[in-house]
Structure 1
């Protein structure tokens, strides 16, 4: 309702209402969130996050009974459910560094340098406070996941009238994703996203210095931080189209900051091994990540999945690898058609790295990092309600199966 001027005044005497966008010079479609404050959507997303953490803890509790001790009557310990696979590498790095071989470890097969130092260093720091290595890893992922889920919801809501609903849907789809167990375990995914998603949010809000610094923190955790840096650079170039070169050159160096930790780690490994790419060669030796064409990788994955060359459990995981790769390719196609160039660069680099090894490996886990996927599903579900129902009916059972598989000691992607 429009206010009526008081009697005896003219319309000119009433102060004109100014547009907030005009006062600040910000684009009308962009919402600036209050700094240091959680919105109602943030709180609802965090509530959902805590509920799913309780659910994941219950799955791990069930695994202690489904995978008992040797006598078949005594359940395993709850914390031991989280001490599988890559956790051992992170733990050895945190305890001994990269080049001190622990007792009983074969130095020939020790491929610790394949893992970037961010998570093990955080693990060592938190362990100094809590005194238990496994608890320290779980706390890092718990805190990192909380930051990441809020950032994901905010990214999903940017520039939309239904931003709150889109943010909640994106968070729910992400938390119920098939490999969500890796957001709870002492693995790198949650910590990486705790830096990467706020970095992307900062880039979308044109805070290039903050985006560069957060991107650098993400790169200390995973090599995927370089893929994020490439996406931030494309976002920067698109945002500065038509602007003077002076403005571009002032902010451009921040886009290169995420490459600094990777360069520093490679220099450190070179000083110890005379090999600039020691981390890459360790991945080739330990996980068959030497270069193959995508066709060769597909064929090798197909054989592992369907030719009965692997145990049944591993064969099923290779089937999931293929399904996740298909999802990734479809996501990339949609991003290209819709001209979301920065997001397409991030996903394309991920797919190239994952799709040119001997076989597809860890693609389902890496899908957790593809924030355009979860945001796209959320927005699609707001248009067609059946998308939410179909996703919950398919993804949630897979999430439970893979969580039980991982917490029981099996490989889950």
Structure 2
């Protein structure tokens, strides 16, 4: 038993250090994002983690879904539908479960987020082989400052959804369609972008379950994908139960955000590149240096995210040429990374693509196979962009 405990501590040490560093770096960015007394940013309080959409997730956790005409409560608002049915239930239901132990909903939301982030590092570490080398150490360091990763600390389902995608990869790697499907279920119930898990699991028949016959491989792929898809069905069922409308999600998306239809992704990329984050909200008065220089960081963010996808694709291509194969986890991570990059643009998520893209964290499975000559510059670029995006988050620019 003592040996097992010692082995467990050894395996969790590196993920724990990465989690602590991620929090330390984010705290320092928060302090630098406020003019004068940096203590005004209460990073260690719930207020520092709470932004616009956080209110919707908290309302779902507290009272469930609702949908109403805006003018019924806000007479000066335009006559469209309002409510919280544009947000998925996986994260709020986890918050509700934790709050049943006596914690406030706000504290519970932070606990779910930070536990999910620690879980992300732990599962990634297992996928990397649980052995500390220059390559795996640099990969964890990149994960601590991953582009958009400030949302891994916020009252948002980004960390929970990313952890679920990593569990999905781990399930495929272990040959367990139940674990893979369960991870996919949580991913699709947390965030719309989690639907990429369904596609990856369907394709897993071509690269996973190698010890089975083709009929069995197809059955496992379809079973895990079906289980993953049930997460989205569960979300829709909860919305229907509360509003008596099967299309409540689409109604809110179209009325409030002009979304809900399929877009041309490259046109949406151009549009996203042209719209600064500061167009949504710009704080009044004097801005700290870091915030002032971060207001156009959407362009750097898009370039960096695109470069990350290309690096992942290039690494996969090199491994295929050199080894004539990819590991099961590498195939899964490759498919998910590319899909997560494109899906927000297909859906027209111009207000949220940067936090959706944070779930490309799963691509770190392949970053661990990159040369140090690639990893070190990538770490430097991610660190600089993390500071810029974090500054905008804590100054209130990002929603």
1:283-342 Cα offsets, whole Å, 9 max, x none, are 333333343312432342344249x99968996254245325523652574377447654
The 2-side partners of 1:393 and 1:248 are apart by: 41
Task: Please tell me whether the aligned partners of residues 219 and 225 of structure 1 are also in contact (alpha carbons under 8 angstroms).
Answer: yes
The 1-side partners of 2:104 and 2:233 are apart by: 32
The 2-side partners of 1:357 and 1:226 are apart by: 12
Higher RCO structure, 1 or 2 (CA under 8 Å, sep 6+): 2
Match of 2:90 in 1: 118
Root-mean-square deviation over aligned CA pairs: 3.8
Task: Please tell me whether the aligned partners of residues 344 and 353 of structure 2 are also in contact (alpha carbons under 8 angstroms).
Answer: yes
Given the superposition, is the C-alpha separation of residues 309 and 100 from structure 1 closer, same or farther in structure 2, using an over 3 Å criterion? Answer: closer
1:374 CA drift (Å): 2.2
Aligned residues: 368
Consecutive unaligned residues of structure 2, counting only runs of 5 or more, are: 283-291, 321-325
Given the superposition, is the C-alpha separation of residues 66 and 100 from structure 1 closer, same or farther in structure 2, using an over 3 Å criterion? Answer: farther
**Highest CA radius of gyration, 1 or 2?**
1
Q: Does 2:8 match 1:50?
A: no
Given the superposition, is the C-alpha separation of residues 273 and 313 from structure 1 closer, same or farther in structure 2, using an over 3 Å criterion? Answer: farther
- Residue among 273, 282, 301 paired with 2:272: 301
1:394 CA drift (Å): 2.4
Match of 1:323 in 2: 303
- Residue among 32, 39, 54 paired with 1:87: 54
Given the superposition, is the C-alpha separation of residues 286 and 183 from structure 1 closer, same or farther in structure 2, using an over 3 Å criterion? Answer: same
Q: Does 2:252 match 1:256?
A: no
The 1-side partners of 2:238 and 2:168 are apart by: 26
1:56-94 Cα offsets, whole Å, 9 max, x none, are 23443555x5388xxxx9936553222212111111222
Task: Please tell me whether the aligned partners of residues 166 and 378 of structure 1 are also in contact (alpha carbons under 8 angstroms).
Answer: yes
In the superposition, the TM-score normalised over structure 2's length comes to: 0.77
Match of 2:335 in 1: 345
Q: Does 2:149 match 1:180?
A: yes
Task: Please tell me whether the aligned partners of residues 138 and 185 of structure 1 are also in contact (alpha carbons under 8 angstroms).
Answer: yes
Q: Does 2:314 match 1:334?
A: yes
Secondary structure at the counterpart of residue 86 of structure 1: helix
Q: Does 2:352 match 1:362?
A: yes
1:39 CA drift (Å): 6.2
Task: Please tell me whether the aligned partners of residues 157 and 164 of structure 1 are also in contact (alpha carbons under 8 angstroms).
Answer: no
The 2-side partners of 1:209 and 1:349 are apart by: 22
- 5 Å matches for 1:9-48? 38=8, 40-48=10-18
The 2-side partners of 1:89 and 1:410 are apart by: 18
Secondary structure at the counterpart of residue 239 of structure 1: coil
Task: Please tell me whether the aligned partners of residues 152 and 167 of structure 1 are also in contact (alpha carbons under 8 angstroms).
Answer: no
Q: Does 2:360 match 1:391?
A: no
1:142-195 Cα offsets, whole Å, 9 max, x none, are 11111111111221338xxx7755433322111112322111112111112232
Secondary structure at the counterpart of residue 43 of structure 1: helix
Consecutive unaligned residues of structure 1, counting only runs of 5 or more, are: 1-33
- Residue among 62, 75, 85 paired with 2:40: 75
The 1-side partners of 2:149 and 2:213 are apart by: 44
Task: Please tell me whether the aligned partners of residues 225 and 258 of structure 1 are also in contact (alpha carbons under 8 angstroms).
Answer: no
- 5 Å matches for 1:195-206? 195-206=164-175
The 2-side partners of 1:47 and 1:118 are apart by: 27
Given the superposition, is the C-alpha separation of residues 203 and 319 from structure 1 closer, same or farther in structure 2, using an over 3 Å criterion? Answer: same
The 2-side partners of 1:109 and 1:320 are apart by: 35
1:135 CA drift (Å): 2.0
Task: Please tell me whether the aligned partners of residues 200 and 332 of structure 2 are also in contact (alpha carbons under 8 angstroms).
Answer: yes
1:255 CA drift (Å): 3.4
The 2-side partners of 1:154 and 1:251 are apart by: 23
Secondary structure at the counterpart of residue 110 of structure 1: strand
Match of 2:323 in 1: none
Task: Please tell me whether the aligned partners of residues 335 and 344 of structure 1 are also in contact (alpha carbons under 8 angstroms).
Answer: no
